[in-house]
Amino acid sequence: ALISYATEAAAIVGRAREAERNALAGFSNDLGLAYQIADDLLDATGHEDNVGKPLRTDEAAGKANFVTILGIDGARQRVHILAAQAKEHLAIFREKAHILLQSVDFVLDRTH
């Protein structure tokens, strides 16, 4: 949600058109959810030495997360779907969205 508010504020300050604001809102929602699912995947499948924090904390606490609901393969698929959608939202900006596109790749590739 914080990403959505920050993106909306930046769009307003930058005087983005409504279509651009909508694109940024869709991008931030999809990227934020993809990041959360990727974080749940790291918690379930990562190695503490690489991630740099205790893992399997949701499992130990009996908390549901995207991996417990979707399974590992389902969560991975959902991350890729959300990442593709996030990138598609940015098509309206063409080459101006280069850094934002890189942020999507960061979410897909993160190991810590």
pLDDT digits (tens, 9 = 90+) for 14-28: 666 888 888 988 999
Identify which has the larger pLDDT, 4 or 112.
112
Which residues form the domain of 31?
Answer: 2-109
Total domains in the fold of the chain: 1
pLDDT in tens, 48-101: 767 667 778 777 788 899 999 999 999 999 999 999 999 999 999 988 889 999
| CB 1 within 8 Å of CB 32 | yes
Confidence band of 1 (pLDDT split at 50, 70, 90): low
Provide the CATH number for the domain around residue 42.
1.10.600.10
| Rounded distance between C-alpha atoms, residue 8 and residue 109, angstroms | 26
